[in-house]
Amino acid sequence: MKLNIALLAGDGIGPEVIDQAVKVSDAIAQKFGHEITWKPALTGAAAIDAVGEPYPDETHEVCKNADAVLFGAIGHPKYDNDPSAPVRPEQGLLKMRKALGLFANVRPTFTFPSLLDKSPLKRERIEGTDLVFLRELTGGIYFGEKGRKDNGDTAYDNCVYTRAEVQRLAKKGFELAMTRSKKLCCVDKANVLETSRLWRETVQAMEKDYPEVEVSYEFVDAVAMRLVQWPNSYDVLITENLFGDILTDEASVISGSMGLMPSASMGAEVSLFEPIHGSYPQATGLNIANPMATVLSAAMMFENFGLMEEGKAMRDAVNKALEAGVVTEDLANGGKVYGTKEVGDWLAANV
C-alpha cells in the first residue's frame, strides 16, 4: 500500500515521540511491503512562532490531502497563563478538528499487566479494564455561539446538537460495539438538558438496527462515579463533546498506563492519530519521554487502513519491550532506564 501521512509533530516532546513512531512505522512498512511518504507540517505553538497561527492554511492543505494525520502534542507554557489571549495553540486544535471534520474521538483505556501497580486504584478494581470512549468532537458547547452581553458582565455559551450529528457518532459506537462485547453505554444528562434528550431519543431509535447490542443509558455524574468504582464494568461508551473531554481524561488515569494510551479522531475523509499525553514541556529535548503511546497511535492508524497484522506487530513489539524492561524512566521502576530514541530503536528492530 502507498500511504501519504501528514506529520504534525507540534510542541514540547511532540517531535521526539513522533520521530520514534515514524521509525517504527517505516520498519513495519519495509517488513510488509508498504511505502509511506511523510509530509511534515507546522502546528501549535511551533506554528504560532513561525507563521503567527496555530493551524495555518498550508498545514490544513497537507492534512486534507493526506491519507491520515499522525499528531504529536500541542501546548506551550508561554501560552498557558492567559486563556483569553487572542492566539492560543488550543484554537489551532479546535480549528483543525472542525476543518477536517474529525467528529469522533476514539479513546481506549486498557491495562498492561506489568503496569497494574502504577494505577491509583486497587488492583482488583482495575484488572481487566478494557473500555473505549467515543467522544463527539466537532459539536456541542465547544462550537456553539458564545459571547458577552451587558458590557461584558454576562457571558454565554450555547450547546447545540442536531439529530444527524448524534446519529453519525452513535453509528460508530454501535459498529464498534458489534466488534467487541456488544455493550454500548450512552452517557448524557437527559434529566436536565434538551441536547441530552435528543441524544437519548436518537440512540434509542437506532437500537432496532443493532438488535444484538445491549444499550444502557447513564447520567454523566453516575458515570464519573462508576469509572472510579468499577471501570471494568464498561465497554463502549458514547458521549457528547464536553462530557467526553472530562470523562476520557478521568478514564485515562485509572489504568496506571496513561503514558501508553493512544487515540484516534475519525472524520469522513481523513483521520488523525495521537497519543493522549500532552506536550510535557519540561521534558522537551531531554530524550526521556515515553514514545510508546505515539507508536500505539500509529498502530491504530495502520489498523484503520485495514492493515490489522501491521498494527498487531507494533502492539506486540510494545508488549515485548515492556516485558523486557526496555522502557523510559516513567516505567523503569528502579530498573535500567532507556532513552526515547533507544526505545524507538528497539521497537523498530523488533517489529
Residues belonging to the active site: 142, 189, 221, 245, 249
Residues 6+ away with beta carbon under 8 Å from 236: 131, 132, 134, 173, 176, 177, 180, 183, 184, 185
- Of the listed pieces 13-21, 36-44, 155-163, 176-184, which binds a second copy according to CB under 8 A? 155-163
E-only strand ranges, 222-340 = 236-239, 262-267, 272-275
Q: Cβ atoms within 10 A of the Cβ of 177, count? A: 24
Residues 6+ away with beta carbon under 8 Å from 170: 186, 202, 203, 206, 238
Terminal CA-CA length for the chain? 18
3-state secondary structure of 103: strand
Give the shortest CB-241-to-ligand IPM separation in angstroms.
7
Identify which of residues 60 and 320 has a Cβ nearer to ligand IPM in the complex.
Answer: 60
Identify which of residues 240 and 303 has a Cβ nearer to ligand IPM in the complex.
Answer: 240
178 makes contact with a second copy (CB under 8 A): no
122 makes contact with a second copy (CB under 8 A): yes
121 makes contact with a second copy (CB under 8 A): yes
Residue pair 73/273 in contact (Cβ under 8 Å)? The answer is no
Select from 49, 221, 316, 323 the one that contacts ligand IPM (CB under 6 A): 221
157 makes contact with ligand IPM (CB under 6 A): no
3-state secondary structure of 298: helix
Select from 61, 77, 87, 148 the one that contacts a second copy (CB under 8 A): 148
Select from 151, 179, 191, 229 the one that contacts ligand IPM (CB under 6 A): 191
88 makes contact with a second copy (CB under 8 A): yes
Identify which of residues 61 and 117 has a Cβ nearer to a second copy in the complex.
Answer: 117
281 makes contact with a second copy (CB under 8 A): no
Residue pair 263/293 in contact (Cβ under 8 Å)? The answer is no
**Binding marks (x or -) toward ligand IPM, 40..79, rule CB under 6 A?**
----------------------------------------
d(CA 156, CA 144): 10
Sheet with strand 102-110: strands edge to edge: 35-40, 2-10, 68-73, 272-275, 262-267, 102-110, 130-136, 236-239, 183-188, 214-219
Select from 192, 268, 286, 324 the one that contacts ligand IPM (CB under 6 A): 192
110 makes contact with a second copy (CB under 8 A): no
Query: What phi and psi values does residue 131 have, to the nearest 5 degrees?
Result: -125, 160
From the list a second copy, ligand IPM, none, which binds 222 (C-beta under 5 to 8 Å, kind-based)?
A: a second copy
Could you identify the residue written with the cell 511551533?
46
107 is in an annotated binding site: yes
Select from 53, 214, 245, 250 the one that contacts ligand IPM (CB under 6 A): 245
Q: Binding residues for ligand IPM, per CB under 6 A?
A: 90, 93-94, 191-192, 221, 245
